[in-house]
Amino acid sequence: MITIYGIQSPAVARLRSALQHKGLPFEHVSVNLRQKSEEFKELTPAETIPVMQDGTTIIGDSLAAIAYLDDKYHQTYKMLGKTPEEKGRILTAIWAMERISITLSPLYIEKLAMAAAMRANGAAHRATIYDQQQKDDLKKDTLYRLARLWEYKGELQYFTSHFSAADATMLNLIKTLQNYHYELGTWEQWSQTLMADKHIMQMFAPDTEKGVREI
């Protein structure tokens, strides 16, 4: 049985999607990220979720875990492409999405009013909040990058011939941007089409889902 440490996060959803498409059984362990246990800290030096454990193998990054699954369980569904060319295309798309995602942290910090607590807990270097001009510039840049990604996807339903880690990553990004009230146009319609597929939709664990235990 494969274990995913963590349940609710975009990166967890991407890994969960891979395991579901591959038909590999897995379970979740809930992680208290506000008060990280020593058990969790021993799993990964990054101390982030998800962490995936498969037997004695422990991987602390969702994309690295998906690459591992594609290699080890090579007869299962390929989330990083069926050919080297598809893999390169998928990873290129994901990197373009990650360039958007890494700029969104200040919006998350502001939305949850986390800045004061972070400063009090010795994380002032992460307690960044954008001013209005920065927010406006961020939205302009984000919409530009989304348009470039739409061009990159082209007329295909997916980024390659089949649903992949790139599509799962984009669904996560769209969901995040919707939380910040971005108007996403064609990407929102694309998301609705894919999420009508119950198998794809299951990548997002419901808020009521609990792990087999908590650490």
Model confidence pLDDT, tens digit, residues 65-108 = 999 999 999 999 999 999 999 999 999 999 999 999 999 999 99
Q: Check: CB of residue 171 under 8 Å from CB of residue 194.
A: yes
* Domains identified in the chain, total number: 2
Which has the closest alpha carbon to 93: 175, 9, 163?
163
Domain endpoint, select from 13, 48, 72: 72
Helix axes 186-195, 165-179, angle to 10 degrees: 120
DSSP three-state, residue 160: coil
Q: Which helix (H) or strand (E) holds 53?
A: strand 51-54
**Residue that the structure tokens 């991407």 belong to:** 14
Give the helix ranges, DSSP H, for the chain. 10-22, 38-41, 62-72, 84-101, 105-111, 115-120, 132-153, 165-179, 186-195, 198-201
Residues 88 and 63 placed together within one structural domain of the fold: no
Residues 47 and 108 placed together within one structural domain of the fold: no
Residues 116 and 159 placed together within one structural domain of the fold: yes
- Rounded to whole angstroms, the maximal C-alpha distance in the chain is 50
Residues 36 and 108 placed together within one structural domain of the fold: no
Q: Check: CB of residue 177 under 8 Å from CB of residue 142.
A: yes
On whether residue 32 sits in a domain, the answer given is: yes
Residues 125 and 193 placed together within one structural domain of the fold: yes
Domain endpoint, select from 14, 39, 72: 72
Residues 52 and 99 placed together within one structural domain of the fold: no
The mean pLDDT of the chain is 96
On whether residue 149 sits in a domain, the answer given is: yes
pLDDT, tens digit, 9 for 90 and up, residues 136-181: 999 999 999 999 999 999 999 999 999 999 999 999 999 999 999 9
On whether residue 77 sits in a domain, the answer given is: no
Compute the chain's Rg from CA coordinates.
Answer: 18
Residues 185 and 98 placed together within one structural domain of the fold: yes
Residues 6 and 52 placed together within one structural domain of the fold: yes
pLDDT, tens digit, 9 for 90 and up, residues 95-107: 999 999 999 999 9
Residues 103 and 189 placed together within one structural domain of the fold: yes
Q: Check: CB of residue 68 under 8 Å from CB of residue 21.
A: no
Residue range(s) defining the domain that contains residue 18: 2-72
End-to-end CA distance of the chain: 18
Give the dihedral of Cα atoms 176, 177, 181, 183; nearest 10 deg. Answer: -140
DSSP category for residue 214: B
Q: What is the pLDDT of residue 62?
A: 97
Domain endpoint, select from 51, 72, 93: 72
Residues 65 and 96 placed together within one structural domain of the fold: no
Residues 148 and 193 placed together within one structural domain of the fold: yes
DSSP three-state, residue 147: helix
Name the pTM for this structure: 0.94
On whether residue 19 sits in a domain, the answer given is: yes
DSSP three-state, residue 5: strand
CATH code: domain of residue 59: 3.40.30.10
